């Protein structure tokens, strides 16, 4: 080992090799500065005598988790008309709170799929600068959408003339919007391909952008080296988005066999928020979700779960995605047990939240596993998540970029 670098060593009952699903037992993970230098069966010779050693009895080490669909600047208690009273500035401060909660839940990376006023990019920068704690953020900025669509704001009458920042109609207008988002710091592009549950007056199954517009968005984003996420519940919109070449489809509720086949051919990822429905239906009314949206959710929730099962069985690439912000940040890990209940093995659910997510973000060489050379994003949970997935709901140690961010060990 290098003479000067400070080493942090984690001795744990086990560590998960996320690629093979094998547990290394007992395990020694050595971190130098912000990188993993080795993971092996426990071995005192693996680290320097003056290393800082943490003994994690009863714990399993895992790579830091990814949630591929969050809205950090959104508050789950504030929906519908209540949201009209939130300024971008107020939302950014909500984001500070939510970033901390997300990190405490073991999620060291997130993809933030839409925020007005580039508040997600401000938050990302503040975390990077060390001003506030939080995960690595891959931020979209304002989501693109058609006039009156799911990514517009349709709560007020025409006299108030409110239009969301990401609204653009027509192939050149959407290209200009992609360029604008890149100009102000976006890492990924998000657009709304179909109607949605939580928007006023949109049909959840109906396509919104035309094929021509979706193709223009994806072409422009890919030209500039960004990946694209498409919100799509309805079957036609899912297919058009996949044909346009999006990297991931969000929600994917009304998927059919043909769309699954297309996704398999193209390598498209499905990013399905199957926990969300429980919160919307139980707490949504109190939070201000419109009756119209609750009615849509009653049709979408169970159908989406059936689609999830189908997609898993077919072998579609899947990532962990919660849409936290609709439901409370910090509860992200509760989705793992639902992913297992609706068809994944425990290992598949964990891969969806680590190596698959890193690969979707083109970060597979830097993040997503405990392999030597990667950034040291590491978490510890009590027990064995391969046997009991609900262990993922309580993360006691979180290390991000080699730094201990959360330590609840006694
Ligand atoms: N943001 C999404 C929408 O409004 C949330 C969908 C939640 N429902 C669900 N079953 N996943 O469309």
pLDDT at 44: 86
For atom 5 of ligand 1, the residue with the nearest CA is 197
For atom 10 of ligand 1, the residue with the nearest CA is 301
- Does the Cβ of 61 fall within 6 Å of ligand 1? no
Residue 199 CB-density burial (10 A; 0-12 exposed, 13-18 middle, 19+ buried): buried
- Does the Cβ of 250 fall within 6 Å of ligand 1? no
Residue 33 to residue 399: CA distance in whole angstroms = 12
pLDDT at 6: 87
Q: What is the pLDDT of residues 223-235, one digit of tens each?
A: 999 999 999 999 9
Residue 86 and residue 32 in one domain: no
Q: Is residue 2 part of a domain?
A: no
Residue 244 and residue 307 in one domain: yes
**Dihedral angle sign, alpha carbons of residues 312, 349, 321, 198:** positive
Task: Ligand 1 pocket test: pick from 271, 322, 326 the residue with the most ligand atoms within 8 Å of its Cβ.
Answer: 326
pLDDT at 3: 54
Q: Which residues contact 319 (CB under 8 A, 6 or more apart)?
A: 66, 68, 248, 269, 270, 271, 352, 353, 356, 357, 360
Token digits for 355? 């190596």
Q: What is the pLDDT of residues 105-135, one digit of tens each?
A: 999 999 999 999 999 999 999 999 999 999 9
Residue 101 and residue 248 in one domain: yes
Q: What is the pLDDT of residues 336-370, one digit of tens each?
A: 999 999 999 999 999 999 999 999 999 999 999 99
Task: Ligand 1 pocket test: pick from 229, 232, 251 the residue with the most ligand atoms within 8 Å of its Cβ.
Answer: 251
Residue 320 and residue 259 in one domain: yes
Q: What is the pLDDT of residues 242-294, one digit of tens each?
A: 999 999 999 999 999 999 999 999 999 999 999 999 999 999 999 999 999 99
Cα of 175 from ligand 1 centre, angstroms:
26
Q: Is residue 398 part of a domain?
A: yes
Residue 194 and residue 276 in one domain: yes
Residue 384 to residue 172: CA distance in whole angstroms = 51
User: What number is the average pLDDT over the span 186-206?
Assistant: 98
Residue 287 and residue 152 in one domain: yes
Residue 94 and residue 48 in one domain: no
Q: Which residues contact 274 (CB under 8 A, 6 or more apart)?
A: 304, 305, 308, 335, 338, 339, 342
User: What number is the average pLDDT over the span 21-50?
Assistant: 95
Q: Is residue 188 part of a domain?
A: yes
Residue 217 and residue 323 in one domain: yes
Q: Is residue 81 part of a domain?
A: yes
**Atom nearest to 198 CA in ligand 1:** 4
State the average pLDDT for the chain. Answer: 97
Residue 6 to residue 48: CA distance in whole angstroms = 9
Q: Is residue 1 part of a domain?
A: no
Q: Is residue 317 part of a domain?
A: yes
Q: Is residue 318 part of a domain?
A: yes
What CATH number does the domain containing 306 carry? 3.20.20.140
CA-based nearest residue to 310, from 357, 260, 239? 260
Cα of 231 from ligand 1 centre, angstroms:
9
Q: Is residue 395 part of a domain?
A: yes
Catalytic residue among 323, 374, 377, 400: 323
Among 47-51, 294-298, 332-336, where is mean pLDDT lowest? 47-51
3-state secondary structure the chain: CCCCCCEEEEEEEEEEECCCCEEECCEEEEEECCEEEEEEECCHHHCCCCCEEEEEEEEEEEECEEEEEECCCCCCCCCHHHHHHCCHHHHHHHHHHHHHHHHHCCEEEEEECCCHHHHHHHHHHHHHCCCCCCCEEEECCCCEECCCCCCCCCCCCHHHCCCCCCECCCHHHHHHHHHHHHHCCCCEEEEECECCCCCCCCCCCCECCCHHHHHHHHHHHHHCCCEEEEEECCHHHHHHHHHHCCCEEEECCCCCHHHHHHHHHHCCEEEECCCHHHHHHHHHHHHCCCHHHHHHHHHHHHHHHHHHHHHHHHCCEEEECCCECCECCCCHHHHHHHHHHCCCCHHHHHHHCCHHHHHHCCCCCCCCCCCCCCECCEEEEECCCCCCHHHHHCCCEEEECCEEEEECCC
Q: 């199954």: which residue's tokens?
A: 205
User: What number is the average pLDDT over the span 16-45?
Assistant: 96
Residue 298 to residue 348: CA distance in whole angstroms = 28
- Does the Cβ of 197 fall within 6 Å of ligand 1? yes
Cα of 276 from ligand 1 centre, angstroms:
7
Q: What is the pLDDT of residues 60-97, one digit of tens each?
A: 999 999 999 999 999 999 999 999 999 999 999 999 99
Residue 368 to residue 355: CA distance in whole angstroms = 4
Task: Ligand 1 pocket test: pick from 276, 281, 342 the residue with the most ligand atoms within 8 Å of its Cβ.
Answer: 276
Residue 323: active-site member: yes
Cα of 251 from ligand 1 centre, angstroms:
7
User: What number is the average pLDDT over the span 203-216?
Assistant: 98
Domain's final residue, options 360, 379, 397: 360
Query: Confidence class of residue 150 from pLDDT cuts 50, 70 and 90?
Result: very high
- Does the Cβ of 232 fall within 6 Å of ligand 1? no
Domain count of the fold of the chain: 2
Cα R_g (the chain), whole angstroms: 21
Residue 53 and residue 189 in one domain: no
Query: Confidence class of residue 2 from pLDDT cuts 50, 70 and 90?
Result: low
Residue 193 and residue 336 in one domain: yes
Which residue range is the domain that position 209 belongs to?
65-360
Query: Is the reported ipTM for this assembly greater than 0.95?
Result: yes
* pLDDT of 1 higher than 70: no
Residue 243: active-site member: no
Catalytic residue among 190, 239, 374, 400: 190
Percent of the chain with pLDDT over 70: 99
Cβ neighbours, 10 Å, residue 25: 13
pLDDT at 5: 76
Among 38-47, 56-65, 172-181, 359-368, where is mean pLDDT lowest? 38-47
* pLDDT of 206 higher than 60: yes
Token digits for 379? 């978490």
Task: Ligand 1 pocket test: pick from 199, 271, 323 the residue with the most ligand atoms within 8 Å of its Cβ.
Answer: 323
Residue 53 and residue 72 in one domain: no
Cα of 2 from ligand 1 centre, angstroms:
49
* pLDDT of 43 higher than 90: no
What CATH number does the domain containing 11 carry? 2.30.40.10
Residue 46 and residue 185 in one domain: no
**Atom nearest to 301 CA in ligand 1:** 10
């Amino acid at each position: 080992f290098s003479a000067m670098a400070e080493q942090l060593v984690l001795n744990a009952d086990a560590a998960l090799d996320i690629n093979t699903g094998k547990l290394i037992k007992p395990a020694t993970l050595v971190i130098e500065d912000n990188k993993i230098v080795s993971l092996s069966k426990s071995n005192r010779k693996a680290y320097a005598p003056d290393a800082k050693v943490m003994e994690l009895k009863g714990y399993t080490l895992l790579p830091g988790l990814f949630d591929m669909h969050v809205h950090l600047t959104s508050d789950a208690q504030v929906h519908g008309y209540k949201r009209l009273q939130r300024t971008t500035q107020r939302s950014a401060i909500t984001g500070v709170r939510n970033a901390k909660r997300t990190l405490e839940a073991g999620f060291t990376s997130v993809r933030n799929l839409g925020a007005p006023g580039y508040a997600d990019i401000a938050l990302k920068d503040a975390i990077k600068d060390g001003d506030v704690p939080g995960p690595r953020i891959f931020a979209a900025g304002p989501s693109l959408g058609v006039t009156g669509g799911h990514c517009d704001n349709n709560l007020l009458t025409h006299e108030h003339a409110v239009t969301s920042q990401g609204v653009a109609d027509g192939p050149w207008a959407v290209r200009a919007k992609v360029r604008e988002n890149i100009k102000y710091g976006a890492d990924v592009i998000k657009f709304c391909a179909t109607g949605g549950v939580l928007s006023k007056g949109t049909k959840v199954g109906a396509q919104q952008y035309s094929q021509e517009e979706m193709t223009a968005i994806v072409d422009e984003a890919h030209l500039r080296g960004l990946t694209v996420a498409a919100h799509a519940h309805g079957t036609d919109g899912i297919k058009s988005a996949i044909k346009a070449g999006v990297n991931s489809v969000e929600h994917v509720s009304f998927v059919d066999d043909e769309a699954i086949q297309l996704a398999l051919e193209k390598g498209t990822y499905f990013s399905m928020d199957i926990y969300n429905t429980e919160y919307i239906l139980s707490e949504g009314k109190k939070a201000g979700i419109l009756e119209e949206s609750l009615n849509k959710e009653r049709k979408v929730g169970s159908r989406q779960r059936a689609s999830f099962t189908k997609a898993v069985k077919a072998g579609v690439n899947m990532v962990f995605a919660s849409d936290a912000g609709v439901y409370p940040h910090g509860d992200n890990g509760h989705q793992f047990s639902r992913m297992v209940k609706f068809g994944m093995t425990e290992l598949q659910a964990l891969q969806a939240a680590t190596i698959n997510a890193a690969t979707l973000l083109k970060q597979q060489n830097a993040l997503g596993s405990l392999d030597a050379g990667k950034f040291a994003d590491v978490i510890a949970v009590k027990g064995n998540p391969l046997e009991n997935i609900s262990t993922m709901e309580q993360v006691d140690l979180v290390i991000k970029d080699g730094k201990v961010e959360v330590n609840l060990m006694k």
